[in-house]
Amino acid sequence: MTGENSLLFIILFPLISTIISYLLGRIRESYRDVFNIFSTFIMFIFVSSLYLKVLSEDMRLLVPNIMGTGLYLKLNAFRYIFVWLTTLIWFLVIVYSISYMKSYKDKNRYYVFFMLTYWSTLGVFISEDLLNLFTFFEIMSLTSYPLIIHEEEKSSHEAGDTYIIMAVAGGLVLLMGLFLLYDFTQTLLLGELKIAVSKIGDIKYLIASLILFGFGVKAGAVPLHIWLPKAHPAAPAPASAILSGILLKTGIFGIMITTGYMFPDDFNISSVILVLGFTTMFIGGLLALFQRNIKRTLAYSSMSQMGYILVGIGLMGILGEHKAIAFYGTLYHIINHVIYKVLLFLAAGAVYMCLHRLDINSILGFGKNKNIFKYLFLIGLCGIIGMPGFNGFISKNLLHHALAEALHIYGGIWLTLGEYIFVISSGFTTAYMLKLFVAIFMEGEDKYSKEKYISKTTFIPMVILALLILFIGVNPQFVIKVIEKASISFGIYGEIPIDFYSIENIKSSFVSIGLGVLVYILFIRKHLRVVSDKKITYINTTLSWFSIEKNIYIPLFKFIFRILSFVLKVFDEGLIKLIYLINDNMKKIGNVEIKFENDVDGKLKELLNKKFSLTGYKLSSITYSIYIFGVMLLVILITLMY
């Protein structure tokens, strides 16, 4: 199959499969479930079969007269990593969903939007034109919204409202950036933007800010992260897994192509991303320490892990010609986070399937006698904390080496502070994961031994992900070879000479892990864990802390809403008065006695009067239409805000 046909298959097959899946679901649910597994497996096998071809040459497809400027698709080694991970995770999560979704209602609706999100996500990763990418990006935001509110509880709708407001706001800001970019460069093709942007002057910083804002919302970067800790716990576990594992990476993908393709090695832009990365890393890890809901802990954990990736992207820009190690660490950590975070969310879903609860206070000791489940969770834990022998160890050390390289080149107190934040945040990761592990598998009474246990189809995806964590951790060169090909897109050539399992790297890893153990013992055990009458209770003191959403965003939006309402009211009343004035004058003109020499029977005068009256009527109709449209907008805004 040619490259063009392959791309056409990637973009059309999931969409056609979604339609067939929906129709089968209306006939019989079992038909739909089998078909979804089959179609996602076919897609995964097909993408896997493209591995050698993609490494040797780029695939391109141009379909003119679509979306105005044409549909431009491209698949190279860099994009292939995202596409392959997406097809793998969707297949595994679909298998997992069969058992998980049994007790849910409206399953056909869930699967339709689940598969549409799959299709649009693939579209984001293979789009070569930013307008195409934006279109798929917004479709993805809209199709993932029903997944978040699927349970239709109050908390689900609140999470969905926050998610869709942030998604739409981010999309509008991103679109504004693309408008400016096209206005100054006359192109939105990624391959042409590097040269085009270099000629537009300092306006590029405004454009970069707008585009990075839009992608930053989806990446969960501070202070645009407010949707993330609400959406993940609200959605069913399979949806949470793809939200954290894949959808966050669409934002990261957008930031990487923005900084790497359009603004390569720009020190100012990269410095801002670096600061945002450290901030996101630290705040996400800190807030995760206090959480009691497993999925909410994992949500803040994902936020923190996105901070690591943003730090890597920022280091790529400020290191310039020495950016290879930062690129390898960034892409390696993206791969790692997809694998271990999906495993951990599926594990949380397994707990929920049995108990329909996720608060660790009410599930203490659930996994005491569930050894297979315990080991799977432990593998995910070891992966995320960077334990030697597991996948996270490799990427965290690569990122740490890149940070050390930047500190060696530039020095200064800020990068030194950044290194401390890096180590402390890694300690936070160990502490909050240890908190979950101890609460679920070691503490509490052995009262869940007779609970209904999860099915084998639920275990299979988790086992595959756990094996991947071990394989990638023990065989880092397997991933490094793929990243080496992907690095060519960013002007990086050659291998990185690093002994991954050197004594220094192992020591560095155990320093952060040891720090995390101390945080767990001295802070979590002493201040967040209360024992009363032999009953263990974890407390969350952040519930009374300052909230960006409640203390900044909501008051700000309400203020803007009131100001705009006042301005529009003044404008509306002024417009109505103007229309009435024009209408009255028309009537007066129509009542003026006009004599026409040839208008013997008065028909011409009657015709003019009708025309004047009709004009006044049309103007009044336009006014009322504008008013009704304004009311509709106000109703929508009020619904979203409240």
- The torsion angles phi and psi of 492, rounded to 5 degrees, stand at -115, 130
The tokens of 601 are what?
């029977």
User: Cα(497)–Cα(578) distance, rounded to whole angstroms?
Assistant: 75
- Residue 37: the pLDDT is 94
Tens digits of residue pLDDT in 548-562: 777 787 787 777 778
In a domain, 210, yes or no: no
In a domain, 563, yes or no: yes
Closest C-alpha to 121, from 319, 291, 254: 254
Dist CA 288 CA 303 (whole Å): 9
Tokens for 35, please give them.
């078909």
Tokens 């009211």 correspond to: 569
437/420 Cα distance (integer angstroms): 26
Helix/strand/coil for 66: coil
Is residue 624 very low, low, confident or very high in pLDDT (cuts 50, 70, 90)?
very low
Q: Which residues make Cβ contacts (< 8 Å) with residue 286, sequence separation at least 6?
A: 428
Nearest to 289 by CA among 278, 303, 274, 271: 303
CA 350, chain centre distance (Å)? 23
Question: What is the pLDDT, as a whole number, of residue 631?
Answer: 53
Number of C-beta neighbours around residue 30 at 10 A:
11
The predicted pLDDT at position 428 comes to: 95
- For the stretch 221-267, pLDDT in tens is 988 888 888 888 888 999 999 999 999 999 999 999 999 888 888 89
> Which of 226-240, 533-547, 594-608 shows the highest mean pLDDT?
226-240
More confident residue, 202 or 40: 40
Q: Are residues 538 and 581 in the same domain?
A: no
**The pair of three-digit structure tokens given for residue 229, joined into one six-digit string:** 């800790």
Whether 516 and 574 share a structural domain: no
Q: Quick one: 366 and 503 in the same domain?
A: yes
Tell me the percentage of the chain whose pLDDT exceeds 70. 88
The token pair at 509 is: 């890893």
Backbone angles phi and psi of 73, in degrees to 5 = -120, 150
Is residue 226, in this structure, part of any structural domain at all?
no
Residues 349 and 392 occupy one common structural domain: yes
CA distance 225 to 220: 4
Q: For residue 398, give the nearest of 250, 497, 256, 302 by alpha carbon.
A: 497
Over residues 272-329, the pLDDT tens digits come to 999 999 999 999 999 999 999 999 999 999 999 999 999 999 999 998 888 899 999 9
Global pTM exceeds 0.75:
yes
Q: Which residues pair with 529 in a beta bridge?
A: 538
Are 575 and 431 contained in the same domain?
A: no
Same domain, 573 and 465: no
Domain shared by 402 and 333, yes or no: yes
The better pLDDT of the pair 602, 503 is held by 503
pLDDT reported for residue 633: 53
Domain boundary among 516, 544, 572: 544
Residue 369 is predicted with a pLDDT of 81
SS3 track for 308-333: HHHHHHHHHHHHHHHCHHHHHHHHHH
Q: Give the model's pLDDT for residue 458.
A: 84
What is the per-residue pLDDT for 232?
85
What per-residue string of b and e applies to 605-622 under the rule 16 or more CB within 10 Å gives b?
Answer: beebbeebeeebeebeee
473 CB-side CA count, 13 A: 25
DSSP character at residue 489: G
Q: At a CB cut-off of 8 Å and minimum separation 6, what does 219 contact?
A: 248, 251, 252, 254, 255, 306, 310
Distances (CA, A) of 228 to 110, 156, 433: 20, 13, 18
Q: Of 371, 388, 367, whose CA–CA distance to 469 is shortest?
A: 388
- Same domain, yes or no: 518 and 587: no
**Cis peptide leading into 223, omega within 30 of 0?**
yes
Q: Which of 108-122, 356-370, 600-614 has the lowest mean pLDDT?
A: 600-614
H or E element that contains 210? helix 203-219
Q: Are 570 and 595 in contact (CB under 8 A)?
A: no
Residues 311 and 373 in one domain: yes
pLDDT digits (tens, 9 = 90+) for 400-411: 999 999 998 998
- Give the model confidence (pLDDT) of 127-167 as tens digits: 999 999 999 999 999 999 999 998 888 888 888 888 998 99
pLDDT at 4: 83
Which candidate, 261, 18, 48, places its Cα nearest to that of 120?
18
Cα angle, residue 167 at apex, residues 546 and 260 outer, rounded to 5°: 100
In this structure, the answer to whether residues 484 and 557 fall within a common structural domain is: no
Do 232 and 240 contact (CB within 8 A), yes or no? Answer: yes
How far is residue 375's CA from residue 609's CA, in Å, rounded to a whole number? 88
- For the chain, what is the mean pLDDT? 86
Phi, psi of 531 (to 5 degrees): -115, 120
End-to-end CA distance of the chain: 52
Residue pLDDT, tens place only, 9-19: 999 999 999 99
pLDDT of residue 491: 85
Q: Is 434 found in the same domain as 360?
A: yes
Domain boundary among 528, 544, 560: 544
Question: What's the average model confidence in pLDDT over 526-547?
Answer: 84
pLDDT of residue 617: 46
Alpha-carbon span 322 to 315, nearest angstrom = 9
Element (DSSP H or E) covering residue 12? helix 3-27
Asked if residue 511 and residue 554 are part of one domain, the reply reads: no
CB 513 within 8 A of CB 386: yes
Within a domain: 155:
no
Residue 60 resides in a domain: no
416 lies in a domain? yes
* Number of domains comprising the chain: 2
pLDDT band at 418 (very low <50, low <70, confident <90, very high): very high
Given a cut of 80, whether residue 569 has pLDDT beyond it is no
In this predicted structure, which of 155-164, 186-195, 507-516, 586-595 has the lowest mean pLDDT? 586-595
618 confidence band (pLDDT: 50, 70, 90): very low
Per-residue pLDDT at 607: 56
Top-confidence residue, 447 or 317: 317
Whole domain around residue 593: which residue ranges?
Answer: 548-641
Question: What tokens does 273 get?
Answer: 């991303």
pLDDT band for 126, please (50, 70, 90 cuts).
Answer: very high
Angle at 420 between CA 309 and CA 392, to 5 degrees: 40
Last residue of a domain, one of 527, 544, 561: 544
Residue 73 DSSP code:
E
Render pLDDT for 204-223 as a digit per residue (tens, 0 to 9).
999 999 999 999 999 989 88
Asked, for residue 227, whether it belongs to a domain, the answer is no
pLDDT of 638 > 60? The answer is: no
Tell me how far CA of residue 267 lies from CA of 206, 257, 314, 319, 392, in angstroms. 15, 16, 9, 9, 28
Q: In the chain, pLDDT over 90 holds for what percent of residues? A: 52
Three-state secondary-structure class, residue 358: coil
Does residue 557 lie within any of the structural domains?
A: yes
495 vs 608: which has the higher pLDDT: 495
Rounded average pLDDT over 51-69:
85
For the segment 331-372, what is each residue's pLDDT rounded down to a tens digit?
A: 999 999 999 999 999 999 999 888 888 899 888 888 888 888
Residue 641: the pLDDT is: 46
Q: What is the DSSP letter of 475?
A: -
pLDDT of residue 233: 86
Q: SS3 for 527?
A: helix
CA angle 218, 142, 462 (to 5 degrees): 65
DSSP assignment of 360-391: GGGSTTTTTT-HHHHHHHHHHHHHHHT-TTSH
